[in-house]
Amino acid sequence: MTSRIGGMFCMERISKGSNTFLENKGDDVRFYMSGRCALYACLCEIRTLDTKKIAYVPAYTCETVLASYEKAGYSLRFYDVDEYLLTPLFKDTDLQGVSVLGLSAYYGFSSYSRSILQKCRQMGITILQDITHSPFSLDGYCPEADFYAGSIRKWMGIACGGVAIKREGKFEIPIDPPDQDHLKGRYEAMAFRAKALLTKDSCYDQKAYEVFWKTEMQLRQSFAKQGSDERSAEILNHFNAEGLVAIRRRNYQTVLDTLKESKQCRAVFPVLGENSCPSHFCFYSEDRERAQRQLEEMGIKSTVYWPLPPQLKNLEAFPHSLYIYDHIVSVQIDQRYGVTDMEYLGKSLSQLT
């Protein structure tokens, strides 16, 4: 049987409306094949005037994000991330020699210090914010940033979802054509997912994940500055962003209201601020593997973001990030689900032992 909560998105329908979620975010907005393509494109734009090529990036992040920096020729310097609200632990002394600061607002919640960002501006350090987790949060775009890059594919069913924004001026680098094999795989995976939901046959879910991961692993080897296909761009320009935000906020708050915390489930973000649009419901678990097994038995699929990236070597220097890597779990609370589903999720999380 298919899971009650969790799993891949089906293909998003093209809406007749319009949205403004990217309006006034910068002078130049481009759509790319994926978030890492968008991030890499921004770095290619930045490096044309960057002689240092040293990036100050979070120790808690995805290896594919770091791969974009490495492919663009940057060496990496890491800062720790506190497990409390996933707050970046910047060090002023680490800024010496840095040319790019990588920033993220995790899971839709922003908790970084703007004072050090203002210092970066004074020092001539370019700020590149990964907006993958925060494209719909009112405070999801750092005012001090020079570039925004991320993926909307984490939020809905689209084949391409990369977004790159240059705050001032136009991009000078060209856009590469999208990889047609990659697009074919993405559309095929979403079609299998739709068939799984229609037939309640989990074998189609298995096929969807096989195709998805095949294309994902190929992308990790071949990503560049590939642009989006027209269908994905049309979806991004016309989907109901306000509805997405309203439902996700309602769902997150419903889980919070229903949840009774324990050592097996402590909310990473126990308060939903008025500016946040959550990507997931994230919690810390003392025994994560057991918690995930129990959730699976309840029909709830959970995910761990992320495995330790191979680029992070001196692990003892980042104890807070290591705690996050070892204990965090994420569950989907997106626009596919109603209040009853979220009450079920909250009660299920409360039953973890």
- Interval 297-346: pLDDT, tens: 999 999 999 999 999 999 999 999 999 999 999 999 999 999 999 999 99
Would you state the pLDDT for residue 222? Answer: 84
* CB atoms closer than 10 angstroms to residue 13: 10
* Sheet strands side by side (includes 28-32): 28-32, 162-166, 147-151, 126-130, 100-104, 54-58, 75-82, 87-89
- Residues 232-251 have a mean pLDDT of 97
Give the C-alpha separation, 177 to 222, whole Å.
13
Q: 56 has which bridge partners?
A: 77, 101
CA distances from 148 to 12, 29, 41, 238, 276 (A): 24, 9, 11, 20, 17
Q: How far apart are CA 239 and CA 265, in angstroms?
A: 33
Q: What is the mean pLDDT of the chain?
A: 96
Fold of 28-166: Aspartate Aminotransferase; domain 2 (3.40.640)
Tokens 């795989």 sit on residue: 185
All CATH 3.40.640.10 domain ranges of the chain, comma separated, are 28-166
Question: How much is the average pLDDT of 147-166?
Answer: 98
Supply the pLDDT for residue 116: 93
Compute the average pLDDT of residues 144-168. 98
Question: What is the pLDDT at residue 210?
Answer: 96
User: Rounded to an integer, what is the distance from CA 345 to the centroid of its chain?
Assistant: 21
Residues in Cβ contact with 239 at an 8 Å cutoff, skipping those fewer than 6 apart: 12, 15, 17, 19, 156
pLDDT above 70 covers what percent of the chain? 99
For 256, the token pair is: 């919070």
Answer whether residue 277 shows pLDDT above 90. yes
- The residues that bridge with 171 in the sheet, in sequence order, are none
The answer to whether 153 and 34 are in contact (CB under 8 A) is yes
Residue 159 confidence (pLDDT): 97
- pLDDT given for residue 2 in this prediction: 53
**Does the pLDDT at position 30 exceed 90?**
yes
Q: What is the pLDDT of residue 16?
A: 87
Output the pLDDT for position 87: 98
Q: pLDDT, tens digit, for every residue of 81-122? A: 999 999 999 999 999 999 999 999 999 999 998 999 999 999
What CA–CA distance (Å, rounded) separates 316 from 303? 25
Q: Looking at the predicted structure, is the pLDDT value of residue 141 above 50?
A: yes
Q: What is the C-alpha to C-alpha distance for residues 163 and 236, in angstroms, rounded to an integer?
A: 10
Least-confidence region, from 1-15, 156-170, 239-253, 254-268: 1-15
Q: Which of 325, 232, 284 is nearest to 38 (CA)?
A: 232
Pick from 226, 127, 121: which is nearest to 173 by CA? Answer: 226
How far apart (Å, rounded) are the C-alpha atoms in residues 204 and 74? Answer: 41
User: Phi and psi (nearest 5°) for 80?
Assistant: -75, 160
Q: Look at residue 1 in the predicted model and tell me its pLDDT.
A: 44
Q: Which residues contact 210 (CB under 8 A, 6 or more apart)?
A: none
CA distance 186 to 253: 32
The CATH 3.90.1150.10 domain(s) of the chain lie at 241-350
Predicted local confidence at residue 255, as pLDDT: 99
Structurally, at CATH architecture level, domain 241-350 sits in: Alpha-Beta Complex (3.90)
Contact 259, 283 (CB under 8 A): no
Q: Tell me the one-letter amino acid at 24.
A: N
How confident is the model at residue 252, as a pLDDT? 99
**How high is the pLDDT of residue 219?**
87
